[in-house]
Amino acid sequence: MRNKTITEKIIRHADKILAYCHGMSYEKFAADSMLTEACVFNLSQIGELANQLDDDFTLTHAEIPWRSLYGLRNRIVHDYDGVNMNLIWTIITEDLEPLRRELQKILEEL
């Protein structure tokens, strides 16, 4: 039950980011400090939640880059001023939707 709840929370954070950035260009994203801060915050929450999942769960679902999610969280939290917005944008536009789809599949199996 705990892993299911955490997975649902991760999906909600991903959904927020995807909704915030829908149809947006990088230039518009980078110029909006409230938007970038909201997205970075939600990405850090995803990483924190990923770290709270049971080891057996993450091993069973090795198709998800759990360590990378938590690693991004660490980069954000420990060096916020140095966060690379190009990297954040790439994660949002290329990685987040596929991650969300995989998590949804896992959730449907639970």
Query: Does residue 97 carry a pLDDT above 80?
Result: yes
What pTM was estimated for this model as a whole? Answer: 0.91
Query: Does residue 1 carry a pLDDT above 90?
Result: no
Average pLDDT, the chain: 93
**Phi, psi angle pair for 84, to nearest 5°:** -85, 110
Q: Biggest alpha carbon distance in the chain? A: 41
| Residue 62 to residue 32: CA distance in whole angstroms | 35
Judging by beta carbons within 10 Å of its beta carbon (0-12, 13-18, 19+), is residue 109 exposed, middle or buried? exposed
Query: Does residue 110 carry a pLDDT above 90?
Result: no
SS3 10: helix
1-8 mean pLDDT: 94
Query: Does residue 13 carry a pLDDT above 80?
Result: yes
Q: Give pLDDT tens digits for 22-52.
A: 999 999 999 999 999 999 999 999 999 999 9
